[in-house]
Amino acid sequence: MIEIIKEPWPWYVSGPLIGLTVPILLLIGNKSFGISSSLRHICAACIPANISFFKYDWKKESWNLFFVFGIFLGGIIATYFLSNPNAIEITPQLSEQLATYGITDHSGLLPAQLFSWESLFTLRGFIMIVVGGFMVGFGTRYAGGCTSGHAIMGISNLQWPSLVATICFMIGGFIMANLILPYILSL
């Protein structure tokens, strides 16, 4: 049984399981799935500032904090007990292309040449980590939610803004991966 859990699950198993969270949350208590809202709840609970965005009864949404903690705990359990000890498998063509940018370490989930304390103090690392993190946070706030909230929960509830946001997420991802990222990697 543990071997089945350690293997990557096919889309036709994991996809429906993720999709089933929507009706389960709606049936349990008319709750909406989304991860980015938990940061707002944490800020509302921990920062006693006079900011109107954080002035609401965050305790009604405390279930979301437990949900996110479960995701965090699941990630720790998966990392320490279910990890594949082998290097990440990528196609030889991608490996050759990444080598032209100086990225040769594929031993972890993220390349150490891009995501490490040493690379943070380079222009390329700063753009990838700090500017990229800011852009993700800004986009999440501007769109009124994250990809999981819009793409999984919003579209399944037939919300037009979620469809528009998800289309924009996808277009932005394609532009980033194909046009902007090669330029950043060449720095």
One domain, residues 126 and 182: yes
The count of domains in the chain is 2
**Cα of 104 vs its chain's centroid, Å:** 24
Look at residue 98 and tell me if it is in a domain.
Answer: no
One domain, residues 137 and 76: no
Judge contact between 35 and 149, C-beta under 8 A. yes
Judge contact between 122 and 113, C-beta under 8 A. no
Look at residue 90 and tell me if it is in a domain.
Answer: no
Q: State how far the Cα of 58 lies from the Cα of 79, in Å rounded to an integer.
A: 31
**pLDDT tens across 128-154, in order?**
999 999 998 898 888 888 888 898 888
Q: State how far the Cα of 127 lies from the Cα of 116, in Å rounded to an integer.
A: 13
Look at residue 94 and tell me if it is in a domain.
Answer: no
Look at residue 42 and tell me if it is in a domain.
Answer: yes
Look at residue 58 and tell me if it is in a domain.
Answer: yes
pLDDT for residue 167 is more than 90: yes
Tokens read off for 141: 């706030």
Query: What sign does the dihedral 28-32-35-37 (CA atoms) show?
Result: negative
One domain, residues 120 and 79: no
Q: How far is CA 40 from CA 29, 30, 71, 72, in A?
A: 20, 19, 17, 17
Domain that holds residue 133: 116-186
Using pLDDT thresholds of 50, 70 and 90, give the confidence band for residue 165: very high
Look at residue 133 and tell me if it is in a domain.
Answer: yes
Return the pLDDT at 152: 87
CB under 8 Å, gap of 24 or more: what pairs does 162-168 form?
168/143
Of 62, 83, 104, the one marking the end of a domain is 83
Look at residue 70 and tell me if it is in a domain.
Answer: yes
**pLDDT tens across 11-68, in order?**
898 889 888 888 888 888 888 777 888 888 888 888 777 888 888 888 888 888 888 8
